């Protein structure tokens, strides 16, 4: 049986600790509590490069994947693994990409269900930032021991307690099977991991690292968390629609990049709200979250009318929303 499982990973939590402790993309009481676990010079450096390390709603610089998302996906849970990752990454940018690609081949292949392949294009985009990546690598390596000794033991205990509570509820829901039946789409992996992270308060939540791994803030209300986990199962199971849309949009040479960006933002709203609409069919009409920032009231009303009229295919509903709603 395919299952959704909440997990607790030290390496993934460490990546987001680096951001939150420095107040980059996430600023909260976590920042106040743990900023002193990073070296002063490293705090200053991270804050100076805040823009390059920030992300939200699908918008991110070219550094976010190699410095944040892919390392978090890999769960680099020791100083040795972090050092190896950055050494291979720097070597790939300076001389030879193949050792990096061979080392992480299985992870790269699995992530292709969600993001483009890590290849020469991926490396080319960041070749002008070698010195910056080298410095960031040193920050990751040199601050890990303090995190492992002073932060992780405290955070791990709470995270494991929350994971146990969430998993107890998830086992009763069988979310993947429910979404497969509703959409008629096969979920592509046997286990969908919800990586609980304590550092990401007041910042982007439900950060998809790949088709099979998603980062969730650990301290939200449990019922809200369960509802949004189900929402994310929906966004992932319908993801091929996003890829098809993106391919068509970027192959269209008759529109400007500005127009494409605006169109994608509109599509993103329609897509997220469709997942929310279908989630009401999975969990019930009253969900513990809203997507008002995506104009959900407008989209939910539209989808409800479509669904009642007999149009229930996610592709057709998305297409109708894009053609009708502006």
pLDDT-based confidence at residue 9 (cuts at 50, 70, 90) = very high
Condensed to tens digits (0 to 9), the pLDDT of residues 298-315 reads: 999 999 999 999 999 999
10-14, 23-27, 90-94, 277-281: least confidently modelled range: 23-27
The closest of 93, 87, 86, 48 to 67, measured between CA atoms, is 86
Interatomic CA distance for residues 163 and 157, integer angstroms: 10
Distance CA 90, CA 159 (A): 33
Q: What is the mean pLDDT of residues 7-19?
A: 97
Q: For residue 56, what are its two tokens? A: 């939200």
- Check pLDDT > 70 for residue 249: no
Maximum CA extent, the chain: 61
* Per-residue tokens: 73: 């996906």
pLDDT value of position 174: 94
What does pLDDT average to over the chain?
93
Domain boundaries along the sequence of the chain: 3-158+172-183, 238-324
Residue 104: per-residue pLDDT:
98
Mean pLDDT of 143-157: 97
For 190-316, strand residue ranges (E) read: 191-197, 207-210, 213-217
User: What is the chain's percent helix, strand, coil content, to nearest 5?
Assistant: 65, 10, 25
Q: How does DSSP classify residue 125?
A: T
DSSP state of 208: E
Question: pLDDT tens, 203-226?
Answer: 889 999 999 999 999 999 999 999
Q: What pLDDT is stored for residue 273 in this prediction?
A: 96
% of the chain with per-residue pLDDT over 70: 98
Looking up tokens 């789409």, which residue turns up?
A: 185
Least confident of 127-131, 231-235, 250-254: 250-254
Cβ–Cβ < 8 Å for 43, 57: no
Interval 123-136 mean pLDDT: 96
pLDDT for position 265: 86
For residue 55, give the H/E element and its range: strand 55-56
Within the chain, how many helices (H) and strands (E) appear?
A: 17, 6
Q: Is the pTM of this model over 0.75?
A: yes
pLDDT at 51 over 80: yes
Q: How far, in Å, CA of 30 to CA of 268, rounded?
A: 30
Assess whether pLDDT exceeds 80 at residue 280. Answer: yes
Residue 250's pLDDT band, with cuts at 50, 70 and 90, is: low
**Residue 117: band (very low, low, confident or very high) from pLDDT cuts 50, 70, 90:** confident
Dist CA 7 CA 97 (whole Å) = 31
């Amino acid at each position: 049986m395919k299952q959704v499982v909440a997990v607790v990973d030290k390496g993934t939590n460490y990546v987001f600790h680096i951001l939150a402790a420095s107040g980059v993309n996430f600023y909260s009481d976590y920042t106040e509590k743990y900023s002193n676990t990073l070296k002063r010079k490293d705090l200053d450096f991270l804050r100076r490069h805040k823009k390059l390390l920030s992300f939200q709603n699908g918008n991110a610089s070219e550094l976010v994947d190699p410095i944040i998302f892919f390392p978090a996906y890999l769960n680099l849970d020791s100083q040795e693994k972090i050092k190896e990752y950055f050494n291979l990454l720097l070597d790939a940018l300076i001389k030879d990409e193949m050792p990096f690609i061979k080392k992480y081949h299985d992870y790269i292949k699995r992530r292709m269900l969600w993001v483009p392949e890590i290849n020469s294009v991926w490396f080319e985009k960041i070749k002008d930032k070698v010195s910056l990546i080298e410095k960031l690598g040193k920050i990751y390596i040199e601050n890990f021991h303090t995190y492992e000794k002073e932060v992780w033991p405290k955070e791990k205990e709470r995270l494991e307690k929350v994971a146990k509570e969430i998993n107890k509820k998830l086992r009763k829901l069988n979310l993947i099977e429910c979404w497969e039946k509703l959409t008629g789409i096969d979920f592509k992996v046997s286990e969908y991991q919800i990586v609980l992270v304590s550092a990401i308060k007041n910042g982007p939540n439900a950060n998809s690292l790949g088709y099979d791994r998603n980062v969730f803030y650990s301290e939200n209300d449990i019922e809200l968390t369960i509802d949004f986990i189900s929402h994310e199962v929906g966004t992932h199971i319908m993801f091929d629609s996003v890829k098809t849309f993106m391919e068509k949009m970027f192959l269209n040479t008759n529109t400007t990049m500005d127009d494409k960006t605006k169109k994608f933002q509109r599509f993103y709203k329609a897509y997220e709200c469709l997942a929310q609409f279908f989630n009401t069919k999975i969990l019930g009409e009253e969900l513990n979250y809203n997507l008002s920032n995506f104009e959900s009231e407008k989209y939910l009303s539209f989808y409800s009318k479509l669904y009642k009229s007999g149009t229930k295919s996610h592709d057709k509903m998305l297409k109708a929303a894009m053609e009708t709603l502006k």
